[in-house]
Amino acid sequence: MYKYIAKRLMLMIPTLFGAAVLVFILLRMIPGDICEVRMAGSGMYFDQEAIDVCRENIGLNKPLPLQFIEFVGGYFTLDLGTSMWTEKPITHEIQLRFALSLQVAIMATIVAIAIAIPLGIISAVKQNTWIDYAVRVFSIAGIAMPSFWLGILIILGLLVYSQAWFGEPWMPPIVYVPPWEDPIGNLSQLIWPAVATGYRYSAVAARMTRSALLEVLREDYIRTARAKGLIEKVIINRHALKNAMLPVVTIIAIEFAFLIGGLVVTEQVFNLNGLGKLFVTSVGNQDYTMTQQLVMIVVLVFVLVNFAVDIFYAWLDPRIRYS
């Protein structure tokens, strides 16, 4: 087990290095120049000499190998560099936005698990009954309904019903407040994007739970447990559910990693200044250093989540052994 963990940790190094090389090369292949974008946006007159000075100030005149070494070397000194657009430390730019995106991802995952697992189990146990059909319709609707569209409906509903019940419209707070400063204000702002995202997330997980559990319930050891006279609840909870959770955990983990930087439209709907919004802004501004670090953060999250899932498999299924 310990050898397996050490081996997987060592494999993370070439994975992250390969991602760093790929993102570094691809960003430099994108047409455009941040200095031209910056000067054109300011409305000031500029010539080639001004562009050369700008490129020298932000380090774009250096050879590409040297730029890559500075990019990778920053991880060893815990220095992510400076944004080419705002000229502020990238760590400062990302800090609060990462906390916001991480909290929304965690809350959406909790909402999804709380909805998906019970509904998936009920749907599998009550197969081909009206309960099963209702859960399947609920899941299909969640898959077909974009989370940002559901978010718009939630905001409209809050405006309409708060106006009818309390006499004045109510909207979630606009400015992000960390949970350790104002838990109530933080929850009132992020619960709605978490619900909108978690519903679609739960629809996929519920269907996977149903399919996996139905497959496990047809196994020989489940028939043996029933032949021994075990009650259905014990069979589901102790024998079937843990083995059926392997693909479900994989789906949940991948979706969680995706939510860290993939909620661009949902963040726009709820006016959240998260990593997704920062990602779009940095790409539009040709901010190489910021975009590189954002991509690497998402890659690191995916790598760590996949590693945690692989370790978690052994607890879910005792048949899995790591050599």
Contact yes or no for 283/23 (Cβ under 8 A): no
Specify the pLDDT at position 163. Answer: 63
SS (H, E, C) the chain: CHHHHHHHHHHHHHHHHHHHHHHHHHHHHCCCCHHHHHHHHHCCCCCHHHHHHHHHHHCCCCCHHHHHHHHHHHHHCCCCCECCCCCCEHHHHHHHHHHHHHHHHHHHHHHHHHHHHHHHHHHHHCCCCHHHHHHHHHHHHHHHCCHHHHHHHHHHHHHHHHHHHHCCCCCCCCCCCCCCCCHHHHHHHHHHHHHHHHHHHHHHHHHHHHHHHHHHHCCHHHHHHHHCCCCHHHHHHHHHHHHHHHHHHHHHHHHHHHHHHCCHHHHHHCCCCCHHHHHHHHHHCCCHHHHHHHHHHHHHHHHHHHHHHHHHHHHHCCCCCCC
Cross-strand partners of 82: 89
In whole angstroms, what is the distance from residue 191 CA to residue 117 CA?
Answer: 20
Per-residue pLDDT, 204: 86
Domains and their CATH numbers in the chain? 2-76 (no CATH), 95-208+251-316 (1.10.3720)
How far, CA to CA in Å, does 285 sit from each of 85, 154, 273, 275? Answer: 7, 32, 16, 15
**Is the pTM for the entire model greater than 0.75?**
yes
The CA R_g of the chain, rounded to the nearest whole Å, is: 24
Residue whose token pair is 């009650």: 231
The C-alpha angle with vertex 262 and arms to 259 and 268, in degrees rounded to 5, equals 110
User: SS3 sequence, 247-307?
Assistant: HHHHHHHHHHHHHHHCCHHHHHHCCCCCHHHHHHHHHHCCCHHHHHHHHHHHHHHHHHHHH
Kindly provide the b/e burial profile for residues 280-315, where b requires at least 16 CB atoms within 10 angstroms of the residue's own CB: eebbebbbbbbbbbbbbbbbbbbbebbbebbeebee
Q: How far apart are CA 192 and CA 164, in angstroms?
A: 20
pLDDT in tens, the chain (323 residues): 677 777 778 888 888 888 888 888 887 777 766 777 666 655 566 667 777 777 777 777 778 788 888 888 878 877 787 887 777 888 888 887 888 888 888 999 999 999 988 998 888 888 888 888 998 888 888 888 887 788 888 877 777 776 666 666 666 666 777 777 778 878 878 888 888 888 888 888 888 888 888 888 888 887 888 887 778 777 787 778 877 888 888 888 888 888 887 777 788 778 788 888 888 888 877 788 888 888 888 888 888 888 888 888 777 766 666 65
pLDDT value of residue 169: 63
CA–CA gap between residue 266 and residue 215 (Å, rounded): 35
Other Cβ atoms less than 10 A from the Cβ of 226: the count is 14
Which pLDDT does position 110 carry in this prediction?
92
